[in-house]
Amino acid sequence: MASEECWLVSAGHVLASAERAEGRRAKARGLLGRTGIDGALVISGCRWVHTIGMRFAIDVAYLDEAGVVRKTTRMKPHRLGLPVRCARTVVEGEAGAFARWGLKVGDQVEIRQ
């Protein structure tokens, strides 16, 4: 998976390390084939995700163009999510990660190198 290492930051605090999916193939693959993830996966230019073929449940945050969390959801494996019209970026983490990080709707998130 071609990815770039980065950090998720909110209100001046580092929430987690992250991988940024780079390229069409990496974006399409997402977390498929993995048994878990430490940190998060960031997919820019994305409005919806699915968990078909995945081995674990994930938390999903949909960010608008300003990086504000507009919606969060937990998706079990083998589900198809609906598009979120205002989303421009999706952040995926293992189920329960957002609660540990304190990430919620309305938070401003920066993706830093």
- Structural domains in the chain, sorted by start: 3-112 (2.60.120.1140)
- Express each pLDDT in 2-52 by its tens digit: 578 999 999 999 999 999 998 889 888 889 889 999 999 999 999 999 999
DSSP, res 47: S
The one-letter amino acid code at 99 reads A
Asked if 58 contacts 95 with a C-beta cutoff of 8 angstroms, the reply is yes
Distance between CA atoms of 68 and 111, rounded to whole angstroms?
12
Tokens in use for 105?
A: 């709707």
Asked if 43 contacts 70 with a C-beta cutoff of 8 angstroms, the reply is no
Distance between CA atoms of 92 and 74, rounded to whole angstroms?
10
- Express each pLDDT in 59-93 by its tens digit: 999 999 999 999 999 999 999 999 999 999 999 99
- Most distant CA atoms of the chain, gap in Å: 36
Question: pTM above the 0.75 mark?
Answer: yes
